[in-house]
Structures are given as C-alpha cells and as structure tokens.
A and B are shown apart, each in its own frame.
Chain A
Amino acid sequence: MVRFLSEYRDKDLAQGILKRIEKISKKPANFMEVCGTHTVAISKNGIRHALPENVQLISGPGCPVCVTANVDIDKMLAVLSLPDVIVTTFGDMMKVPGSYSSLSKERAKGADVRVVYSTLDAIEIAKNNPEKKVVFFGVGFETTTPTIAESIIEAKEQNVKNYSILGAHKVVPPAMKALLDLGEVDLHGFLCPGHVSMVIGSKPYEFIARDYHIPCVIAGFEPLDILESIYMLIKQIEDGRSEVEVQYKRAVKPDGNPVAVGVMNQVFEPADADWRGIGVIPGSGLKIRDEYADFDAARLFPDIEVPPTREHKGCRCGDVLRGLIFPYECALFGKVCTPTEPVGPCMVSSEGSCAAYYRYDDRVKA
C-alpha cells in the first residue's frame, strides 16, 4: 500500500495544481470539508496557507468523536459504573470528556475500559470473560458502522450473549442538509468524505447539488487528492455548475459498497440523532433493529441513571463544528484548551479540528 503513497505527495505536481488554482479562481470560494481525516490532512500538509486568499477551507462536523453529544458519553459512563461491566471502544474515545468525566479518567480510578482496534477483538474479550458484560461504545459514521453491524451478526451467530453495543452512530448526508438549512455559513462547495463515500457511494449527495446548487467533490486523503478536489470545486464554481464529482475514483463507486450497506441495514435502522453543536437532526442516526435487541445496551440497561448534562463553560466546539468560527477564534483555544489539557472534544480527538489546527498550523498559535 505504501508504494502507492509517494505518487500522491509529489512536490512538482502539487505546485502545478496550486498554480492552476491561482489561475482560474476568481470568485469567493468557501469550502467545507466534512471529514476529520481531511481536516487533519489539510492542516498537516499546510494546504490552508498555500491557497489564494479567496479560497477558504472550513472544517465541518466531520469528526465522529467530536459530534458525539455529551449525553451519549454520560450514558456510557453510567453503564461503565455498573457492576461486572467491561467497556470496549476505539482509542479516540478514551479522553473525550462527558459532562463530568471521561473513560480515561474512570479507567485510572479502576474501571475496566479496554481499547480495541476492531469490534471482533471486543467479541473475543466477551468470550474470554463470560461472567462479565462486555459493552462496545460504538461511535462513528458510515465508515465504521458496517464493522459494528457485522460484530453484532457475528455475536448472534456465535451465540455470544454477554456482548452488546451502546451506539451513537451517525450518517453524514442529513447533517450536511441540516447545516445548509441553518444557513449560517456562506458555503460554495463541499469536500465530501472519501471513506464514508466508499460505503455509501456518490448518489446520497446528489440532492445537495440539485436542490441547493452547491458543488460537491468526493475527495481522497493524500495532499494531491485534496488539491485536485479543491481545483475541481473551483472549476465548478467558475463554470457556474453544481454537480457531484468523484476525485477519489480509485476507491469510490457511484453505488458505494452494497455489501457494507446491506450489513448496516440488516442490523440498524434510521433514527434521529443528537449532534454536538447542532442538536437533534432527523434521520441522521442509526438504532439497532428489534431483531437484534439482545445486543443493544440501551435496551439491556434501561434503568441507568444519567446525571443532568452539562456543557463546558466557554467551549465553542459547537460553533467550530457548524463552521461558524475557526478553532483559533475560540477564546479558550491554545490557552486553557490544548491537546494536553483539552476542554472540548474538538481538541481531544486526533481528528478534531481544534487539535489539527493546534498541532500543525503555525499561523494560529501564539
């Protein structure tokens, strides 16, 4: 796989695309990247500063950890406090603060929280600890949800009865619609998420181009992918077109990955979901279907007591996630809120916008 990376990091090609962008770009161009991996890649490669002044890249609600509402984290912590529970999750979730604590802090106090690289590892933990209830805290977009669905199917087939999912799964296109309907940000294009689109394909974005006249380009993650995608968006604007184009052709098919979508639909059905900063968006979440209710932690632990939700004072993660402000415009950024002592999730997660700006972006650091 690595053999095919250097081609997408070629200096001469990159400088060539930048020149072409400079040449054709006349109109204001505010593009939102709706994927945390893009945000990181853009910052890490210094792309924001290489673009002409009329081209702005705005980070959207693309980090699944960041958009997880406090109430969902609080619920997870409440489950964790029950006897005989092992919580498993992906590493990124560990440090994210809920209203009062985080998984990482609870682990230091003695709670059994384990980081896994795959849900199949979580099933193994369940099999090896039959006297415990193993709960996987599932957070993520269409990219990871199929693997979580597969783990439920697997657990059912193998008759693993002590495994369940506490899910805060979300789907991307309804959130893009919600942002457009809010109308708070003057957007001229979307850099659509490559990994999510590998699963769902390009069709679910068509309403954006058609009904909102906003160009969409599904982008890969290497520097040249991103630069080319930005060029394609600018070309659409300058030509007066609004279409869904795929730059990341080597991975994304118009119909996506029907097998993955099938698995996801077999286990999950659409539901409303609460997004940090945006609120409840209809149809933007997924809940476990009744056939798999035995694996739904929300139904297995119906009586958990969740303390009242509390937001962190002064934290503007919500505004960052809506694209209203750049991370460095938050008064806490880089002062009381750093990756070492994070206040909000956008500074905690490795894919969070605030962390990406803090880590890689010199211009915004005092």
Chain B
Amino acid sequence: MKDDRILLAHGSGGAVSHSLISDFFLKIFTDPTLKRLDDSAVLELGSDRVAFTTDSYVVKPLFFPGGDIGRLAVCGTVNDLAMSGAEPRFISVGFVIEEGLEVSELEKILKSMAGACEEAGVPVVTGDTKVVDRGSADQIFINTAGVGYIKDGVDISGSNVKDGDAILLSGSIGDHGVAVMSKREGLAFGTPVISDCAPLNGMVKAVLDSGADVHAFRDPTRGGLASTLNEFAEQSGVAITIDESKVPISEGVLGACEMLGLDPYQVANEGKLVAAVAGKDADRALEAIRANKYGKDARIIGTAKQTDRPKVFVSTAIGTTRILDMLSGEQLPRIC
C-alpha cells in the first residue's frame, strides 16, 4: 500500500478497493478460500457444501427511493449467497446504533428487514446490538452475515467464465446509486429514479433449475457493471465484449449521469444479476431470468472469449470499440 491512511476511495468497490484487499488484507489473512474473492466463501461441512458471507451497510440517507438500510442489509447478503449458486438459509444481524436514533426510525428499519426476509424466505436467526455515543457512528450501521446451501453439481465462480459464454444482465443499470445520491444531494430529475434493491435468490434458483450451464453469477454492486465484468475477465482470463446498445439504462439514470459526469457502467446496483452462461444455453437462461419479476428487462449483452489479454471491450453506439475500465478512486461514498 502506497497510502499511509485509509481514503474514502478504499471503499469505492473499484480499483483502489481491490488494491487494499489484494495488497493488504490478503497478505495478512491467507486462507485459500478467502483468496478466491468470490461473493461468498464456499465451504465443506461434512458431506455438504455451504456458502458463507458477510457484509456491512452504512448507506446515507437511511431511507431512499425504493428502499432503506434494512432492506439493503438483507438483500445484499441474500444476493451474495445466491451469487455463489447457494440457496440462502439463515442470516445474522449486527447493529451499531448511535445514541439518539429515534425508536420509530429503528422500528421502520426492522420492519423493512423483516419484509425483505419474508420475501427472500430467509429468517434472521441470531443478532447483536451495540449503542455508541453520539458522533461515534452515523445513526445506524448494520452488519449481516448469511449461510446458504449449495446443491450437488452446482459450481459457480467468477473464475469459471469460459470461451464462448454469453454474458447476461437482468435489467437496467445504475438505479441504486443514482437513487441514493439524488436523495442525499437533494437533486431532482425529470424522471424519478428508484433503487432496484431486491433479493435475487428466486431468480438464481430459476436459472439453475432451467438446466442452463451457468459458470458465473455476480451482482454488480459498488463499482457497477464495469467492476463485475473486469473481475470476471481477470479471474477467468477471458476477454469480454459487450454491446453498448444492448445495455438497458433508464432515462433518469442516463440524465443524472450526463449531468454529474458519472459513468453508468460504474454506478452501483443492488438488485441486478450478471451471469456467464454457456453460449448454447443463453436463451434458456434469459427466459428464466425474464420470468422473474426483477428480470423483465434482462438482455444478452455480450460474449466472453479465451485470451491472454483479459479485458472488457465495449462496442459503442457509433460502431467503434473502446475498453471498459474499472472505477478508479471514489465515486459515491456510502452508497450501501
């Protein structure tokens, strides 16, 4: 690490976060399972395989169009489990609450968490609460961890993307990041943008049940679609080419990004799925995603090719090609 202090950029989900993890954390924590850097750790317990994951939520503001910190904390962990091909089973919740938080706000958050748990079919089975003095936290921070069960024969990993795979995206990108930011900064756009925050375990199950040969799932959260595709490329040693005209972006997100100079490919999502599926099974997987209520706008956006130069390319709207790089530095802090 070059920096002698942690910068906000270290939490961006982009290249700086990656360097913090690779150059620092992984030097100290050396477990091979951790080193795979997938959304969940896949572990063997007796003869079973389970997925195990954890995530912390610090979003500001606590309530935003389309969701709140509670729903986010449940969906985020459910999705991390699902992206490993697991069926999420149990989650834990840890709260760090700042002195002075209104009980009515806490109640709203808890009820929202319960609603998301019910929708995902995953109960909270253990928890912890800490209260810190005013100023030592900002209202409330939530940690969730989760455990899921992986069926026999399922082998999903960001390092499994193969030559000829189709890259599928379950819907429009950038909605969560723009929704949170527009609320936080008091920006109003012609078309209101609503966070896509949603549990995706039903969608993942549908794709797996369709029998399609799936190699990788990932939810493009912080760092956006650009980070997810670059991770696939790096972990699997493939070149991915996507067609810009196939990637759905809502008018509101496009307008906000034009105005604020953000790249929608790098803006966070909380209810989207990216899948790498064997080319021959692409249509079958697409159909399964589209049948889910959160996947109606799903598209096949690109393909993966074997290469010694793992990179992501974009065919632009005007028929030229450029590369798609990972987010570098800080874009929107405290987005999840």
Contacts and interface: CB of A to CB of B under 8 A. Distances in A.
Contacts of B16: 340
A49 B316 CA distance: 13
19 contacts: A1-B255, A2-B251, A6-B317, A9-B317, A11-B317, A46-B318, A105-B5, A105-B7, A108-B5, A108-B7, A117-B185, A117-B260, A223-B318, A224-B318, A227-B318, A340-B15, A341-B2, A361-B323, A362-B322
B320 A47 contact: yes
Given A2-B254, A104-B9, A15 B319 contact: yes
Contacts of B136: none
Contacts, number: 94
A23 interface: no
A338 interface: yes
Interface in A66-90: none
A44 B257 CA distance: 15
9 smallest CB-CB distances across A and B, nearest first, come from A46-B320, A339-B328, A14-B318, A9-B317, A340-B15, A360-B322, A108-B5, A359-B325, A46-B322
Task: Select the residue from A2, A9, A109, A362 with max chain B CB neighbours within 10 A.
Answer: A2
A44 B254 CA distance: 15
Contacts of A104: 7-9, 330
A191 to B, nearest CB: 17
A350 interface: yes
Interface residues of B, number: 33
B45 interface: no
B319 A362 contact: no
Interface in B280-336: 311, 313, 316-323, 325, 328-330
A10 interface: yes
B205 to A, nearest CB: 35
Nearest to A108: B5
A50 interface: yes
B261 interface: yes
A352 to B, nearest CB: 12
Given A2-B254, A14-B318, A350-B261, A360 B325 contact: yes
B118 interface: no
Contact of A362 (B3, B7, B15, B323): B323
Q: How large is the interface on A (under 10, 10 to 19, 20 to 34, 35 or more residues)?
A: 35 or more
A50 B320 contact: yes
B2 A362 contact: no
A88 B254 CA distance: 27
Contacts of B317: 6, 9-11, 45, 223
B325 to A, nearest CB: 5
Interface string A210-232: 00000000000001100100000
Contacts of B325: 339, 358-360
A45 B324 CA distance: 11
A108 B318 contact: no
B126 interface: no
Contacts of A45: 316-318, 320, 322
A360 B320 CA distance: 11
A356 to B, nearest CB: 10
A259 interface: no
A339 B8 CA distance: 15
Contacts of B313: 362
B43 interface: no
Contacts of B9: 95, 104
Contact of B320 (A10, A49, A94): A49
Nearest to A14: B318
A32 B8 CA distance: 35
A26 interface: no
B12 to A, nearest CB: 10
B57 to A, nearest CB: 22
Contacts of B28: none
B19 interface: yes
Contacts of A27: none
B258 A5 contact: yes
B101 interface: no
B258 A1 contact: yes
B102 to A, nearest CB: 22
A360 B263 CA distance: 12
A108 B320 contact: no
Interface string A168-188: 000000000000000000000
A241 interface: no
B103 interface: no
Contacts of A360: 322-323, 325
Contact of B329 (A43, A227, A339, A358): A339
B187 interface: yes
Interface string A302-322: 000000000000000000000
Given A117-B260, A340-B328, A11 B319 contact: yes
Nearest to A6: B317
Interface string B178-213: 000000010100100000000000000000000000
A2 B258 contact: yes
Given A50-B318, A362-B323, 15 more contacts: A2-B255, A9-B317, A14-B318, A43-B322, A45-B320, A46-B320, A50-B319, A104-B9, A107-B8, A108-B3, A223-B317, A224-B318, A227-B318, A340-B16, A361-B323
A1 B256 CA distance: 10
